[in-house]
Amino acid sequence: MKRIQDRYSRAYRNRAAERNNVNQIVLTGMVLSTMPVGEYDRRVVILTREQGKISAFARGARRPNSPLVGAVNPFAFGEFTVYAGRTSYTIQSASISNYFAELREDMTGAYYGFYFLEFADYYTKEANDEREMLKLLYQTLRALINPNIPDRLIRYIYELKALTVNGQAPQVFQCVICGERDRPAVFSAAKGGLVCRECAGDVTDKMVLDNSTLYSMQYIESSTIEKLYTFNVTEKVLNELGKVTERLIEVYVDKRFKSLEILETLV
């Protein structure tokens, strides 16, 4: 009788393993956030190339000897093998190719990074094509650990490009109202971009931009993500970009980011 029970037990385990293998998938992505669940587990939000943003449970990840201890921290980028259950994912293993460990040695840089993660979390959705946002996030963090690019410029480029990826880019090539390209124009976040002199009568938030600021915005919106962080600007242009993106965020983003609040006390 015991042999029969053992045989059925092995058969049950084999069938369970086969079902797990069927539902097992490998996703490439970056950890956006993590929070403790229960005594030893973590709930992890990952922005993935294949499934958009997902939530997954990392069982036992808070145990000191867990192979997932370092793999489920924010900024970790790599491949995550997950089991797809009926209502959630469970992380079975991870192969991390970049931890962005340099950010742990720079408090200001780290909070810029946390802000970028929060921003990506706000904009992305599950089961949506988020490949461009994932690529933007990865390239932005790479720029953040490059000492030759000012952190503020990285922030403004990221914010404007994220709006662009999500279909909210301001019109910076022609008048947003009449399409005129040659007349002098002001910038209006409320109107959605440039407004020429003839159409600007009712604009209440007009900003006159330096030509270099406008060229920078045009480059950011039209450039590929791989070529975004390849230029620098003067202090005047940097300040104007900051005012523009701040106003755009006020118009399009209905959220206040905790990491940004902390960041603003550091810089």
Q: Among 50, 80, 99, give the residue marking a domain's end.
A: 99
DSSP bridge pairs for 31? 46
Pair 60, 163 in one domain: no
Q: What is the CATH number of the domain that holds 110?
A: 1.20.1440.120
Answer with the one of 99, 128, 161 that is the final residue of a domain. Answer: 99
- Predicted confidence (pLDDT) at residue 117 exceeds the cutoff of 90: yes
Cα–Cα distance for residue pair 101/120, rounded to 1 Å: 20
Domain span at residue 194 reads 103-266
**Average per-residue pLDDT in the chain?**
91
Instruction: Indicate whether 71 and 110 sit together in one domain.
Output: no
- Residue 23 pLDDT level (bands cut at 50, 70, 90): confident
Residues 129 and 195 in one domain: yes
**Cα 189 from Cα 182, distance rounded (Å):** 20
pLDDT at 166 over 50: yes
Q: Which pLDDT belongs to residue 21?
A: 55
Residue owning tokens 């002199």: 197
Q: Say if residue 130 is in the same domain as residue 245.
A: yes
Same domain membership, residue 170 and residue 132? yes
Same structural domain, 125 and 181: yes
Q: Among 78, 99, 120, where does a domain finish?
A: 99
Give 89's strand partners.
Answer: 56, 84
Between strands 89-98 and 52-58, the pairing is parallel
Asked if pLDDT for residue 181 goes beyond 70, the answer is: yes
Q: What is the pTM of this model?
A: 0.90
Shared domain for 114 and 240, answered yes or no, is: yes
The predicted pLDDT at position 16 comes to 46
Return the higher-pLDDT residue of 174 and 23.
174
| Same domain, yes or no: 61 and 180 | no
Does residue 253 share a domain with residue 215?
yes
Q: Indicate if the pLDDT at residue 50 is higher than 60.
A: yes
Rg (CA), the chain: 23
Residue found by looking up tokens 């124009």 in the block: 185
Judge if 78 and 108 occupy the same domain. no
Residues 58, 9 within the same domain? yes
253 and 171 in a common domain: yes
> Identity (one letter) of the amino acid at 206?
K
62: CATH: 2.40.50.140
CB 41 within 8 A of CB 58: yes
Own/partner contacts of 171-174, CB < 8 Å, gap of 24 or more, are: 172/214, 172/217, 172/218, 172/221, 173/218
- Planar angle of CA 55, 113, 168, nearest 5 degrees: 75
DSSP the chain: -HHHHHHHHHHHHHHHHHHHHHTEEEEEEEEEEEEEETTTEEEEEEEETTTEEEEEEETTTTSTT-TTTTTTSTT-EEEEEEEE-SS-EEEEEEEEEE--GGGGG-HHHHHHHHHHHHHHHHH--BTS--HHHHHHHHHHHHHHT-TTS-HHHHHHHHHHHHHHHTT---B-SS-TTT--SSS-EEEETTTTEEEEGGGGGG-SS-BPPPHHHHHHHHHHHHS-GGGTTS----HHHHHHHHHHHHHHHHHH-----HHHHHHHHH-
Q: Number of folded domains in the chain?
A: 2
pLDDT at 12 over 50: no
Q: Token pair 């797990």 is at which residue?
A: 20
C-alpha distances in Å from residue 70, one per residue of 42, 67, 100, 160:
12, 8, 12, 31
- The amino acid present at 266, given as its one-letter code, is L
Token pair for residue 232? Answer: 């620098």
